[in-house]
Amino acid sequence: MPTFHDPLADAAEASEALRGLAHASRVFEDPADTYRVFGDLVAGVRSLRQVLDQLATTHLDARDRAFDDDGSAAAGAASALAAADELHQAGTLLDQAYGRLDAAFSHSGRIAWHSEPVVDRDAQRERLAARLDGDPTSRTVRAGSLALAVWPDAPVGEHQRYAYRITDTTTGQAVEGRDLFAGAGAPVDPDRALRDLASFLSAAGEARQYALDQPGSSPEHEGLFPVWVSEAARTNTDALAELSERESTERVAGPAQVGRRWFNVAFLQGEEADAVLDLIDRDGTEAAIAHLSGYDYSEETTQAALENGYVYDDQPPTGSTDRTVQDGGYALTYNHALGHVGLYREFDTPPDPALHEAEQPPSAVVNEQSHHAPAPDRDASVARRAALGADRDWYAHPAGTAGQSGRGLSL
């Protein structure tokens, strides 16, 4: 409670109250409550302006008692005058802030908040059509009751960025985003972006189903989209899966050749995979292949793959959103969103000594250990379960990590 006579106690209480308000105002269950907070803030800023004036006056009136640490009265008086001047400047700026806050308070007072958003479906469709009309690089498609649209946005460094819009045609709700990214150096490919958006929606739908089946749990992908999007994705699982699986395997070095066999050299996830994904973003896939080839111990690795059954016909296994690059007898698969990296070598191709000497594997993980976790199956969800182990929750973050590193919806 304010004392109205002890400035030290009241200042401490005001600071704590503002700290509490900053924490409590992160979420408003009823937006109408903001109007009352506005009113209190306007009054608070007005009082703060008065406090600044009174602090400045005190410095001016008591400057004959001001000294510096060396006992100089002249220096102390100069500092007191400077402090008073800065306080007056702060008060002037606070006047401007007060004017803006008061105007916002006035605008807020004209709002009649409704309990649910009113959606103008026709207007939404018209705006989206106007945006995409005549743009050959945009794509729209229906996946069950969801309408998905993607179009290229401004690139970020070597990464192509896509904007997207997700509309639930049954309710008219819609959300837009600009955080869908392609891999470094990838060309503009809206079809690929559309498929991968469907894959991210599938992951969000699976997380939503898991959260419903396991109350109190926190699945890894539940925060990818708003709750209503995840719920709509859950009810359109089959349509999204069909869309995400269309032409799902991307080959930079051309289509797979029948008769080729591949075996797993390394499969990393968690912090180890994040390090390689960062290397891909920074130096490209060739550097990542050179680095991961350090796991390849020639005949020893081949025998380990044969003994453990990590040999694959025609092409290495990939999930629906994995990217694959082939170079020098190696195939690199990686997925920024799901956080895993795999390296495979063509069965009859010996390891490149130059690559092997260029990079050595991290001391935390040796080649033999990488074979204890099976390489990913073609079904992305099965891959995640297999890689983490049947007795673990595949939605949970890898041990020792803080979860996803905020890469956005990377393709």
- Angstrom distance (rounded) from CA 337 to CA 344: 20
Mean pLDDT per block of 10 residues along the chain (411 residues) reads 90 90 85 89 91 94 93 94 94 91 88 73 57 65 89 80 89 86 76 86 88 83 84 90 62 46 86 88 88 86 78 75 81 84 79 51 37 35 34 33 41 51
Domain-wise residue ranges, the chain: 31-108, 121-244, 250-410
Strands of 74-145 (E only): list them. 139-143
Residues forming a β-bridge with 177: 164
Q: Name the residue among 350, 331, 346, 335 with its Cα closest to residue 387.
A: 335
- Angstrom distance (rounded) from CA 137 to CA 330: 32
Q: Name the residue among 185, 150, 183 with its Cα closest to residue 167.
A: 150
pLDDT of residue 134: 54
Report CA 309 to chain centroid distance, whole Å.
35
pLDDT of residue 351: 58
**Longest CA span, the chain:** 94
pTM of the model: 0.37
pLDDT of residue 257: 45
Cβ neighbours for 278, distance < 8 A, ≥ 6 positions apart: none
Strands 311-313 and 323-327: unpaired
pLDDT tens, 244-255? 765 443 333 344
- Angstrom distance (rounded) from CA 381 to CA 387: 10
CA 164, 168, 170 angle in degrees (round to 5)?
Answer: 160
Which tokens in the block code for residue 48?
């703060």
pLDDT of residue 321: 67
pLDDT tens, 7-44? 999 999 999 998 888 888 888 888 888 989 988 998 99
Report which DSSP code applies to 65: G
Q: Name the residue among 171, 144, 179 with its Cα closest to residue 227.
A: 171
Any idea which residue has 């079904």 for tokens?
Answer: 379
pLDDT of residue 400: 33
- Angstrom distance (rounded) from CA 191 to CA 311: 31
Query: Are the C-beta atoms of 374 and 386 separated by less than 8 Å?
Result: yes
